[in-house]
């Protein structure tokens, strides 16, 4: 079984990848998306979303980090994919699941799920631009408004030469509302030969087992669940029990020690509050801490709260 850390724009950056992969259990991370319109980005843009490129595209604990691109132009995506891989990204992931309005207006993300032929054109072009031994993976939802094109999309992705497919088991219209329809992943699996990674609503090792049983997928991708329970990947693999609050507290302290270059002072307070909002789903102590810091905007005051 592989467990992959889901890409989460504005939430899972290199610092969070460092903290979470250090808990064990993860086999791969995917970066936040780099949005491609009509240019080849300079190298620094790739290092910005994936500072791990300076470390062989691995987190400090050695977990590979793959760059994700989002866009609609096969040619520009292919050029940027080639550069990302040349800089060390272990393959390329293509985002066809993002529901954000601005992204979809510019025809990137989940809106492309209405156009199987565009999915095909993009993956084919990227596949040709990237050395054959490097994976080209795609991440989709079940559809845009409904699942009517789900199987056609999956077939197009396979025919274009993708290496694997991660499926967030909801449509764009479903947003993030539970449930995730893991049984739809089983349908996709019965239609194509590609390895399919199951994603959506995995919050515990029990969820992981049920997701595997219902979807038929061995490999899982976890996002919000890993922020709510930082050692979820290790727990899913049976390597450790769910971390006690004291261990999570130690992580919060470690997070506070990261020095962020160019930070105007807001990064840490905002990110800490954001993380506590996930942690409080699993730890009542995080709820209490969130209530304590929610009105604070000053790093020092927040540090005092988590280091009483």
Ligand X SMILES: Cc1cc2nc3c(=O)[nH]c(=O)nc-3n(C[C@H](O)[C@H](O)[C@H](O)COP(=O)(O)O)c2cc1C
The residue whose two tokens read 């730890």 is: 283
Q: Which is nearer to ligand X, 214 or 303 (CB)?
A: 214
Quote the CA–CA distance of 48 and 94 in Å, as a whole number: 18
Residue 202 near ligand X by CB under 6 A: yes
Q: How far is the CB of 248 from ligand X (least distance, A)?
A: 18
Q: Is 292 exposed, middle or buried (0-12, 13-18, 19+ CB in 10 A)?
A: middle
Options 13-21, 143-151, 194-202, 248-256: segment touching ligand X (CB under 6 A): 194-202
Please, how many CA atoms are within 13 Å of residue 65, restricted to the half-sphere of its CB? Answer: 31
Options 18-26, 71-79, 195-203, 252-260: segment touching ligand X (CB under 6 A): 195-203
Token representation of residue 192: 């194509």
Q: Which of 222, 229, 233, 243 binds ligand X (CB under 6 A)?
A: 222
66-81 burial string, b = 16+ CB within 10 Å, else e?
A: bbbbbbbbbebbbbbb
Q: Which is nearer to ligand X, 73 or 199 (CB)?
A: 199
Distance of CA 27 to the CA centre of its chain: 13
Nearest CA to 26 out of 54, 55, 56, 66 is that of 66
**Which residues are known catalytic residues?**
98
Q: Which of 143, 223, 230, 269 binds ligand X (CB under 6 A)?
A: 223
Quote the CA–CA distance of 65 and 44 in Å, as a whole number: 16
Quote the CA–CA distance of 152 and 145 in Å, as a whole number: 15
Q: How far is the CB of 137 from ligand X (least distance, A)?
A: 11
Q: Which is nearer to ligand X, 33 or 182 (CB)?
A: 33
Q: In the range 64-93, which residues lie near ligand X by CB under 6 A?
A: 68
Q: Which is nearer to ligand X, 95 or 118 (CB)?
A: 95
Options 6-14, 157-165, 182-190, 207-215: segment touching ligand X (CB under 6 A): 6-14
Q: Which is nearer to ligand X, 255 or 303 (CB)?
A: 255
Binding mask 149-178 for ligand X (x = CB under 6 A): -------------------x----------
Distance of CA 289 to the CA centre of its chain: 26
- The gap between the terminal CA atoms of the chain, to the nearest Å, is 40
Binding interface with ligand X (CB under 6 A): 6-11, 32-33, 68, 95, 97-98, 139, 168, 199-202, 222-225
């Amino acid at each position: 079984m592989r467990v992959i850390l889901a890409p989460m724009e504005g939430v899972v950056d290199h610092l969070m990848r460092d903290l979470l992969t250090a808990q064990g259990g993860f086999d791969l991370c995917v970066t936040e998306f780099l949005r491609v319109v009509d240019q080849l980005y300079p190298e620094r843009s790739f290092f910005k979303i994936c500072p791990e490129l300076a470390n062989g595209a691995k987190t400090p604990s050695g977990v590979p980090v793959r760059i994700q691109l989002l866009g609609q132009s096969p040619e520009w995506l292919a050029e940027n994919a080639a550069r990302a891989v040349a800089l060390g990204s272990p393959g390329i992931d293509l985002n066809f699941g993002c529901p954000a309005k601005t992204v979809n207006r510019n025809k990137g993300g989940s809106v492309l799920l209405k156009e199987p032929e565009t999915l095909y054109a993009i993956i084919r072009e990227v596949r040709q631009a990237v050395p054959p031994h490097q994976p080209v993976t795609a991440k989709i939802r079940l559809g845009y408004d409904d699942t009517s094109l789900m199987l056609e999309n999956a077939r197009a992705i396979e025919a274009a030469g993708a290496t694997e497919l991660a499926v967030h088991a909801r449509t764009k219209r479903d947003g993030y509302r539970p449930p995730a329809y893991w049984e739809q992943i089983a349908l996709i699996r019965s239609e194509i030969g590609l390895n399919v990674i199951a994603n959506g609503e995995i919050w515990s090792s029990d969820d992981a087992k049920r997701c595997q049983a219902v979807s038929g997928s061995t490999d899982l991708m976890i996002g919000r669940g890993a922020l709510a329970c930082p050692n979820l990947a290790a727990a899913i693999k049976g390597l450790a029990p769910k971390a006690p609050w004291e261990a999570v507290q130690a992580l919060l302290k470690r997070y506070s020690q990261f020095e962020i270059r160019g930070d105007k002072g807001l990064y840490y307070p905002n990110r800490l509050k954001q993380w506590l909002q996930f942690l409080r789903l699993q730890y009542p102590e995080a709820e209490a801490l969130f209530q304590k810091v929610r009105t604070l905007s000053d790093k020092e005051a927040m540090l005092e709260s988590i280091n009483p």
